[in-house]
Amino acid sequence: MPTVYYPAIIERGVDSFGVYFPDLPGCVSAGRTAQEAAMGAEEALNGHLSVSAEFGDAIPKPSDLDDIQAAEGSDEVGRILVRGDRPGKAVRVQLSIDEGLLARIDRVANNRSRFMADAARAALAGQSAA
């Protein structure tokens, strides 16, 4: 998964803050503080990219931070770049796994590959890239 950086705008709401991505309509994050909203932006972005790829939706390239425009009426507080993992094409791999563990996976999962990929994402969540 190639790393991409999408520009986002932090805006002030009545009692909270929101983050939205001009390149990705519908991709938003919110929080009580600007920092809380910004901290959730990466999760929102990765979820949006993942769902878009799963449904075959086109994923636009990120705009330059200086080129984005705030929505009309937005009470803009700041602009940030948010790191995301752009889903790539599936690659077939061979791996070895204990047969008992594989049987347990097969009892709960409809799709081994998706199960393994989801487990890897969960294990890697929060770890910084090396």
Extents of the domains making up the chain = 3-87, 90-130
- Helix locations, 66-128, DSSP H: 99-108, 112-124
Q: Which CATH class is domain 3-87?
A: alpha beta
What does the alpha-carbon distance between residue 130 and residue 123 come to, in Å, rounded to a whole number?
A: 15
pTM (2 decimals)?
0.69
Please report, in tens digits, the pLDDT of each residue of the chain (130 residues total). 688 999 999 999 999 999 999 999 999 999 999 999 999 999 999 999 988 888 888 889 999 999 999 889 999 999 999 999 887 767 788 989 999 999 999 999 998 888 888 888 788 876 755 4
